[in-house]
Amino acid sequence: MSGKKITRRDFSKGVAASAAGMTFVSACDMDNAQEIASSLKHKNVLIIMMDQERAWATLPKGLKLPMREKFSTQSVSFEEFNIASLSCAPSRSVIYTGQHVQQTTIFTNPGLGEGDPLLDVKNTPTIGQMFKGLGYKTAYKGKWHLSVGFDEDNLDALVDYGFDEWHTEGDTDGRVYEGAEKDRNILNNAKDYLKRQQGSKEPWLLAVNFVNPHDIMWLDANGKQAKTRLRPGLVSEMRPAQDKYPYNFDFGFDVPDNFYDDLSKKPEAQMEFVKLGQYFYGEQEVSDEEACRNVINYYAACLVDSDKIIGDLLTSVDTLGMSDDTIVILTSDHGEMGGAHGLRHKGPFMYRENINVPLVIRHPDGEKGIKSNALMSAIDFGPTLIGLIGEDYKSVEARLKGYDYSNIVKGGSAKDQRDEILVCFSNTTQGNSRLEKIRMVQKVAEKNGAPVVQFNFPDDFIQFDKRTLGRGIITSKYKYSRWFTPGDHHLPKTWQTLLGRNDLELYDLDNDPLELNNLAYHPEEQRELIIDLNDRLNKLIEKEVGVDLGSFLPGDPKTWTIEG
């Protein structure tokens, strides 16, 4: 990577020196900060990115998150903001570039040994690069998760990705308890950066990426998951809740209203994910109510703990006199099923708990306490961000296909907004239970002295007989998706092709908000509606993606399609 390398020790001296003066800021300092702010051409931008936080409207009723609630009264909340890809790194790549995974090529999390996807910043520039081009200083603190191998002491590690400064620790992939243990350090790095921007005559963009509520991923919810994993310790340990508040507190939340669902009437990708989870996370039955309650309450604890972190960061903005010239955006990379439909985590399904995430924007001159029901996609994040500072996103980056919703924040209506959202699931790692089991068992055997077996991508990693990749469309009334095998990327234009090569899923969001009744389970009964939605989906793919035959996946393009 380019740029001068600054060691953690060198930087920590500066952090310690400035941290001591962060809580108490003189009136002179604040006046100076406000005077500088008023002279800036553009407002500063603070992005707060949470990990695995679903839309607040889907959280258990009665959960108190005072800092988030206070922030929402100062902001505009986009209630229908949906991610455009699943899960972690793929979604982050879309949010931070404004382009779909077919362009970012981040189809799964880096570091899994499947042709390790790398973000090509020449073809898919990041928000950092875009704002650098507009004269901004940029910094990125916390979880990156879009490439591998960063030196933890290298503050310049993300320069090539458009961010002048990273933080004092290496990347985190969200292992057990890391949110509880590392988010405070991420916060302190962010607060130090804010402190150093006092008096700056250049606008800045700071992206702060926390880990929690991602800690929910590694909760041993029934006391036997850690013992029943096929490969203990793979990626991380499974552990029970910590014996301290809020993690050991029983919030009293019950299973969700859509806990019981018949997944046999849904695309096979869902049961395949459940089966894989039994091997990877350990045994937990989808009907285990007590385990589900433990999941929900621990998830609530992660949110409560992170609420203090969010409040501390927002207080720093206010205390440093930056509120009048800083736009603050809070969002998340994806949701958490938390027992909905009997599922945990995030995976190959387009349920609301999985893809509907917060997007809350506080603009110094914007509306306060407003909730917008405008349909919004993750690819609209970048255009809206650019619009919030008064620039035309099409002039900044012509390849962006999203919409600018900044006028809604400023009290008007969007000049142009979507009436449908495209969601693409191209993660090849979450639908291969049979092959994953073989590899897990083999790796454990090798650890005990068995001969080493070489596994080759893709045949030893991807099950080409399972319909586990998906394309979906969300409208104000319907959610429709089709699921196909990894080797059969196609654009179905006939009824026969659609039924013969895809599993279908369709929900009437007005009459079935819990998404329990898959209307496409009996496709002939909904033939006209399915054909219409599928045609709209095809056109949306052609508009926002172009040719979608899997060529963005690693290896020979012919691996991923049977089309000519």
Say if residue 402 is in the same domain as residue 500: no
- 428 in a domain, yes or no? no
Say if residue 386 is in the same domain as residue 495: no
- 451 in a domain, yes or no? no
- 61 in a domain, yes or no? yes
Sequential DSSP letters for 370-397: EEE---EEGGGHHHHHHHHTT--HHHH-
d(CA 80, CA 97): 20
Say if residue 365 is in the same domain as residue 501: no
CATH code for the domain in which residue 549 is found: 3.30.1120.10
Note whether 399 and 353 are within 8 A (CB). Answer: no
Range of the domain at 546: 466-560
Q: Which helix (H) or strand (E) holds 473?
A: strand 469-474
Residue 18: predicted pLDDT: 40
CATH code for the domain in which residue 15 is found: 3.40.720.10
Say if residue 406 is in the same domain as residue 508: no
Say if residue 64 is in the same domain as residue 164: yes
Residue whose C-alpha is closest to residue 171's, from 156, 191, 151, 192:
151
Note whether 139 and 191 are within 8 A (CB). Answer: no
- Start-to-end CA distance of the chain, whole Å, equals 40
Give the residue carrying structure tokens 């292992």: 175
- 118 in a domain, yes or no? no
Say if residue 402 is in the same domain as residue 475: no
Summarised one tens digit per residue, pLDDT across range 109-138 is: 876 665 667 888 888 999 999 999 999 999
Tokens of 364: 């110094």
Among 371, 391, 410, identify where a domain stops.
Answer: 410
Residue 500: predicted pLDDT: 98
- 239 in a domain, yes or no? no
Residue 109: predicted pLDDT: 83
Beta strands in 180-313 (DSSP E): 204-209
d(CA 85, CA 89): 9
Residue whose C-alpha is closest to residue 106's, from 97, 124, 119:
119
Residue whose C-alpha is closest to residue 320's, from 406, 206, 162, 156:
206
Say if residue 364 is in the same domain as residue 489: no
Say if residue 56 is in the same domain as residue 141: yes
- 48 in a domain, yes or no? yes
d(CA 511, CA 535): 23
Say if residue 152 is in the same domain as residue 74: yes
User: Which parts of the chain have pLDDT scores under 50?
Assistant: 1-27, 33, 36-39
Say if residue 398 is in the same domain as residue 482: no
- 533 in a domain, yes or no? yes
- 332 in a domain, yes or no? yes
Among 390, 410, 430, identify where a domain stops.
Answer: 410
Summarised one tens digit per residue, pLDDT across range 71-120 is: 999 999 999 999 999 889 999 999 999 999 999 999 998 766 656 678 88
Say if residue 372 is in the same domain as residue 476: no
Note whether 189 and 15 are within 8 A (CB). Answer: yes
In total, how many domains does the chain have?
Answer: 2
Say if residue 395 is in the same domain as residue 516: no
Residue 118: predicted pLDDT: 80
Residue 13: predicted pLDDT: 41
